[in-house]
Amino acid sequence: MAATVNTRRLARAMLTPAVVILFIWMIVPLVLTLWYSFQNYSLLNPANVGFAGWTNYQYFLTDPAFFQAFANTLILTLSVLAITVIGGILLGLLLDQFIYGQGIVRILVISPFFIMPTVAALVWKNMLMNPNYGIFAWIATSLGMQPVAWLETYPLFSIILIVAWQWLPFATLILLTALQSLDEEQKEAAGMDGAGFASLFVYITLPHLARAITVVILIETIFLLSVFAEILVTTGGGPGYATTNIAYLIYHLALLDYDVGGASAGGVVAVILANIVAIFLVRLVGKNLEA
Amino acid sequence: MARAISPQKKWTFTILAWIVALILFFPILWTILTAFKTEGDAILFPPAFLPPHWTLENFFEVQARSDYFRHFFNSVVISVGSTLIGLLVAVPAAWSMAFAPTKRTKDILMWMLSTKMMPAVGVLVPIYLIFKNLGLLDSLAGLTGILMLINLPIMVWMLYTYFREIPVDILEASRMDGAVLWKEIVYVLLPMAIPGIASTLLLNIILAWNEAFWTLNLSAANAAPLTAFIASYSSPEGLFWAKLSAASTLAIAPILVIGWFSQKQLVRGMTFGAVK
Amino acid sequence: MGKIVLQGVEKHFGDVKVISNVDLTVEDGAFVVFVGPSGCGKSTLLRLIAGLEDVTGGRILIDGVDVTDLPPMKRGLSMVFQSYALYPHMSVRGNIGFGLKMAGLPKDEIARKVEAAAATLNLTQYLDRKPRQLSGGQRQRVAIGRAIVREPKGFLFDEPLSNLDAALRVNMRIEIARLQKALATTAIYVTHDQVEAMTMADKIVVLNAGRVEQVGSPLELYDRPDNLFVAGFIGSPKMNLVGGRIAEGYGAATVGIRPEHLLVGREGDGWRGTISVAEHLGSDTFLYVDVKDVGLVTVRTQGEAGLRTGDSVVLRPDPARLHRFDRDGRAIRAA
């Protein structure tokens, strides 16, 4: 708790490297991004350089692709959050029961979390979702239905499915851990009070899970806002812009179109949007982590 | 758990849980099985569950074609290197915040976490250009540095959470016993925090191993880790499923095994101590 | 070796004054107990002496050397923590020897001193165990071993017995007192338990709200409390404090009389009341007597007095043992 001046001085000295490194890591690229975003700077057109004013922003923000990317980012993030949190609670409740071979079940369930995103995306794209030879196609034919070309017909939904598969294990295990810390006596007391399964869940279990759910939302949001590899190796953002999120759009501008100015303007917009989310989330979590 | 559970209930839940677990695990299982099939067997329709003709051919071809071991080596260097360097910075910072907190500690922690929320794409351009100017593009050093930076906040947070569970009395006892700071950390804090440090280490190796934005964008032929190795199979020739599967199996196997052994601590560590 | 002097020591946490202006001299070899209710600042004062906290004002001297700005390791004191604070990853041997290792002593000398300390504390057979394999009392002894092995100028004890069960506490109390006398090392001992304070101390420092209320030997505090706080805090069961007309009769705002200084009779002059509860402890009997205009008065009598709940009794205070206090709670002493 309290400490001496000596310890505090040492403590400050020991904290400084981390803070300075992170500060530089945050501020230098940010300033540069800001600066480039007001420049004409295209690697394809080296002659045209100089101050661009708000042109880059104008282009970026009025580009229909931006709106679609914005919408896609939101849909992707929110859908995956919804699937993983709801699915995680259900699965957590299931795994909290007595199960033979619980240890192995846990390992099987957590496994997708450890899979490299590029691998996950490629495996799903080819071996599961391929309309000719994929497992889904085989299931469809077995049930007498037409196989679906998932990534062409439902591109965004397919991406959501892949990403949700990667994050469901994480949500499940965190929520399971939280469930296991729920006092058995509390449940029994509620049972004595005549609470059925539904009211037990609503009045006891769910409030107990609030903290864990907050954490799941925070961590997943950090990663979901910047889903990239899954899109790169499956759809490349297409068809059209159907699966382009903001991360992928900026990547496209910068490293495929070589429009540094435009990409930087996009970057600034992305940072602003992320900050709005961050402020909201950090507050939420800060409050929840206090106790 | 005083309640008696009927055997019927036990078996219902067991069967349900196993079905769900197997469905979730199926893509991984399928990849591993396909890796041992011939290309022809891999695209049989209806699919053959077990390889009709087991073969190791794919693994050899993958190594010959895209040099798995070099990418594996790069992945190890980048993920382990970035984690170890990160620990060197994060341990003192976490000590400082856990044992000599000030009014601003909470804010600093939150700020650190918020840098993690800054979208990588937002700074892709300048980082790319800085790397280009410094000759860091496609270098192991550059990638190691970047991954250290992006995982640093998580490391500090996790260590902070673990350190806070260590009674400050014991550190004070070591001060009374005449330990100077570095001795206090090396002889007392670190040995007590080994489980926490180990799970921080493992989780960050996993995150770094699987990180696919910076590694894909800042590496080419030389420093490419396994993420890039796999991405090269996304081209149409990736339709050679058996080889794709063999490559995938090779890329995920090390981390999957580490993950299995440490999953309990890992998941808890990632919750920043909010879930016990 | 080991005279500890505090001069005008102050400690503030932000705006809160936890310790205000404490002057105190602890003589070499003395056993001094800081006692007071929880939150009185006694542990903080100990931590200031240890160097685990900085003073806000004032000076601390050990053997005439100003140590106010020195870190704990340079003050030459050792401390026994309430939680024992043993290093969980080290054996008993490692725990006891850690301070010597930090001081850079040669290995064989460390081994010799650790063995000696362990022998003193009956820990020899446990030297290779880890703290988690020990009982509470054994852990306590390891913590003490860690403190004595360095031959410090002074021991600091921060409520060391509060985690032990009652029987063990008495044993350890005796053991600590014996050990301190044998080593003749200055000791400062913090406790909220006034029985510990009375039995162990050469000198007791009673603290309240960050101030020293009184310093003196156990019997001085018992016989001549300086003020109402000390009167009420020292002694068990507590001194009966009576105000109003009865006190005025003695020329005081409040009078105090210890339960053992009240004579109980059936008839005669005195405070007439009814026994509301009688507790028979065998050797003693505690009576809680409801006296009109006074309230509940605690009385301690010897043996079985044949008194029961509901009996009407008369209480007569021993005038020589009556304590008088003025309006500000200060003791009025006969000139």
DSSP assignment letter at A99: -
- Cis peptide bond N-terminal to B46, omega within 30: yes
C39 lies in the same domain as C173: yes
- Picking from C89, C145, C91, the residue whose alpha carbon sits closest to that of residue C118 is C145
- Picking from B276, B11, C46, B170, the residue whose alpha carbon sits closest to that of residue A215 is B276
Report pLDDT digits (tens) over C214-262.
999 999 999 999 999 999 898 888 899 988 888 888 888 899 999 999 8
Report pLDDT digits (tens) over A122-131.
888 887 787 7
**Domain end among C196, C231, C266:** C231
ipTM of this predicted structure: 0.83
In a domain, C334, yes or no: no
Contact A228, A248 (CB under 8 A): yes
Determine the distance in angstroms separating the CA of C150 from the nearest CA of chain B, rounded to an integer. Answer: 8
Contacts of A2 in chain C (CB under 8 A): 13, 53
Question: Pick the residue with more confidence: B81 or A47?
Answer: B81
C139 lies in the same domain as C57: yes
Interface contact flag, C82 B188, Cβ < 8 Å: no
* Residue A158 tokens, joined: 């397919």
Q: Is A1 on the interface with C (CB under 8 A)?
A: no
Interface of A with C in 6-65 (CB under 8 A): 6
Determine the distance in angstroms separating the CA of B83 from the nearest CA of chain C, rounded to an integer. Answer: 25
Determine the distance in angstroms separating the CA of A40 from the nearest CA of chain B, rounded to an integer. Answer: 14
pLDDT of residue B274: 60
Interface contact flag, B179 C98, Cβ < 8 Å: yes
Interface contact flag, B149 A7, Cβ < 8 Å: no
Euclidean distance between CA atoms C63 and C4, whole angstroms: 6
In a domain, C158, yes or no: yes
Q: Minimum mean pLDDT among A2-6, A220-224, A276-280, C198-202: which range?
A: A2-6
Contacts of A108 (CB under 8 A, 6+ apart): B21, B22, B24, B25
Interface contact flag, A246 B245, Cβ < 8 Å: no
Q: Is residue A280 very low, low, confident or very high in pLDDT (cuts 50, 70, 90)?
A: confident
C43 lies in the same domain as C182: yes
Q: At C275, which CATH number?
A: 2.40.50.140
Report pLDDT digits (tens) over B166-193.
888 898 899 888 888 888 888 998 888 8
Determine the distance in angstroms separating the CA of C288 from the nearest CA of chain A, rounded to an integer. Answer: 41
DSSP assignment letter at A115: S
The 3-class SS string of chain B reads CCCCCCHHHHHHHHHHHHHHHHHHHHHHHHHHHHHCCCHHHHCCCCCCCCCCCCCCHHHHHHHHHHCHHHHHHHHHHHHHHHHHHHHHHHHHHHHHHHHCCCCCHHHHHHHHHHHHHCCHHHHHHHHHHHHHHHCCCCCHHHHHHHHHHHHHHHHHHHHHHHHHCCCHHHHHHHHHCCCCHHHHHHHHHHHHCHHHHHHHHHHHHHHHHHCCCHHHHHCCCCCCCHHHHHHHHHCHHHHCHHHHHHHHHHHHHHHHHHHHHHHHHHHHHCCCCCCC
DSSP assignment letter at A112: G
Contacts of C13 in chain A (CB under 8 A): 2
Interface of C with B in 111-150 (CB under 8 A): 146, 150
C138 lies in the same domain as C64: yes
Q: Is C162 on the interface with B (CB under 8 A)?
A: no
Which chains pack against B, by 3+ Cβ pairs within 8 A? A, C
Q: At C163, which CATH number?
A: 3.40.50.300
C131 lies in the same domain as C265: no
**Domain end among C201, C231, C261:** C231
Q: Is residue C301 very low, low, confident or very high in pLDDT (cuts 50, 70, 90)?
A: confident
Q: What b-and-e string marks burial along C230-247, b requiring 16 or more CB atoms within 10 Å of the CB? A: bbebbbeeebbbbeeebb
Report pLDDT digits (tens) over C17-46.
888 889 999 999 999 999 998 888 899 999
Report pLDDT digits (tens) over B90-124.
999 998 888 888 888 888 888 887 777 777 777 77
With a cut of 70, say whether residue C110 has pLDDT above it. Answer: yes
* Residue C165 tokens, joined: 């069960």
- Strands of the sheet containing C57-62, edge to edge, are C16-26, C4-13, C57-62, C65-66
Closest in B124, B230, B260 to A122, CB measured: B230
CA B82 and chain centroid, separation? 11
Interface contact flag, A4 C13, Cβ < 8 Å: no
Q: To 10 degrees, the CA torsion angle through C328, C333, C334, C335?
A: -100
Which chains pack against C, by 3+ Cβ pairs within 8 A? A, B
In a domain, C11, yes or no: yes
Q: Is residue A291 very low, low, confident or very high in pLDDT (cuts 50, 70, 90)?
A: very low
Q: What b-and-e string marks burial along B61-72, b requiring 16 or more CB atoms within 10 Å of the CB? A: bbbeebebebbb
Structure-token match 């929320």, residue found: B117
Contacts of C102 in chain B (CB under 8 A): 174, 177-180, 183
Determine the distance in angstroms separating the CA of A66 from the nearest CA of chain B, rounded to an integer. Answer: 14
C227 lies in the same domain as C245: no
C49 lies in the same domain as C119: yes
C191 lies in the same domain as C276: no
C299 lies in the same domain as C210: no
Report pLDDT digits (tens) over C201-214.
999 999 998 899 99
What is the average pLDDT across B197-206? 86
Euclidean distance between CA atoms C176 and C189, whole angstroms: 10
Structural domains in chain A, sorted by start: 18-290 (1.10.3720.10)
Which residue in A15, A24, A185, A188 has the most chain B C-beta atoms within 10 A of its own C-beta, making it the best mutation to test that interface? A15
With a cut of 60, say whether residue A71 has pLDDT above it. Answer: yes
Report pLDDT digits (tens) over A160-188.
999 999 999 989 988 888 888 777 777 77
C202 lies in the same domain as C186: yes
What's the domain count of chain C?
2
Determine the distance in angstroms separating the CA of A105 from the nearest CA of chain B, rounded to an integer. Answer: 6
In a domain, C227, yes or no: yes
In a domain, C330, yes or no: no
- Work out the percent of chain C whose per-residue pLDDT is above 90: 35
- Which H or E run includes A39? strand A39-40
Structural domains in chain B, sorted by start: 69-224+254-269 (1.10.3720.10)
Contacts of C74 in chain A (CB under 8 A): none
Contacts of A67 (CB under 8 A, 6+ apart): none
C94 lies in the same domain as C209: yes
Contacts of B119 in chain A (CB under 8 A): 225-226, 246-247, 267, 270-271, 273-274
Interface contact flag, A4 C51, Cβ < 8 Å: yes
* Residue B109 tokens, joined: 């922690």
**Domain end among C231, C247, C269:** C231
C10 lies in the same domain as C145: yes
Contacts of C78 in chain B (CB under 8 A): 176-177
Interface of A with C in 241-260 (CB under 8 A): none
Q: Is residue A33 very low, low, confident or very high in pLDDT (cuts 50, 70, 90)?
A: confident
Interface contact flag, B176 C50, Cβ < 8 Å: yes
* Domain ranges, residue C51: 4-231
- Picking from B18, B75, B80, the residue whose alpha carbon sits closest to that of residue B252 is B75
Closest in C72, C82, C86 to B175, CB measured: C72
Query: Which chain C residues have any C-beta within 8 angstroms of a chain A C-beta?
Result: 13, 51-54, 71
Euclidean distance between CA atoms C288 and C281, whole angstroms: 14
Euclidean distance between CA atoms C130 and C134, whole angstroms: 7
